Amino acid sequence: MKQLSVVVLFSLLSGCNQPQEIATFAALTDRATVEFVSVAHSVVRNCEIIQKTNREKPESIFVTAGPEATANECASSDRAEKALLDSHKVITGYMNTLKLLASDNILITQPADGAIDSLKSGLKISDAQVVALKGLTNAIAKIATDGYRRRELAKMIDMADAPLQAAVTALAEVIEVNIAKDFDATADSLKSYYRRGLRGQDTSTVASILWIEQGEAELAALKEKKEATLGYCRMLKSIAGGHAKLKAANGNFKSAGLVQFLVEAAKSIQAEQLKVERAFASRR
Partner 1 sequence: MPATVDESAERWADKYNDAANAIADFLDENFDSLVPEDVKEFTKAEKALRKLAKQMRDEAIVFKMEGLNEDLKAISKATERGTKAILKINDVKNGIRIVTGVIKLGVAVVSGNPGAAVAAAKDLAKDLKA
Q: 177-236: which residues touch partner 1 (CB under 8 A)? A: 177-179, 181-182, 185, 188-189, 191-192, 195-196, 199-200
Q: Which distant-in-sequence residues (6+ apart) come within 8 Å of 271 by Cβ?
A: none
Q: Does 63 bind partner 1 (CB under 8 A)?
A: no
Q: Does 87 bind partner 1 (CB under 8 A)?
A: yes
C-alpha span between 258 and 220 (Å, rounded): 39
- Toward partner 1, which CB reaches closer, 28 or 164? 164
149-157, 207-215, 229-237, 247-255 -> range binding partner 1 (CB under 8 A): 149-157
Give me the half-sphere count of Cα atoms (radius 13 Å) on the Cβ side of residue 46: 27
Q: Does 117 bind partner 1 (CB under 8 A)?
A: no
Number of residues that bind partner 1 (CB under 8 A): 79
Which of 15, 65, 111, 283 lies at the binding interface for partner 1 (CB under 8 A)?
111
- Toward partner 1, which CB reaches closer, 124 or 283? 124
Which of 71, 90, 209, 263 lies at the binding interface for partner 1 (CB under 8 A)?
90
Closest C-alpha to 160, from 242, 83, 256: 242
Written as one string, the DSSP assignment of 108-156 is: --HHHHHHHHHHHHHHT--HHHHHHHHHHHHHHHHHHHHHHHHHHHHHH
Q: Does 272 bind partner 1 (CB under 8 A)?
A: no
Smallest gap from residue 138 Cβ to partner 1 (A): 9
Closest C-alpha to 259, from 50, 12, 19, 21: 21
Closest C-alpha to 256, from 96, 10, 17, 29: 17
User: Residues 17 to 46: which contact partner 1 by CB under 8 A?
Assistant: 43, 46
- Toward partner 1, which CB reaches closer, 112 or 259? 112
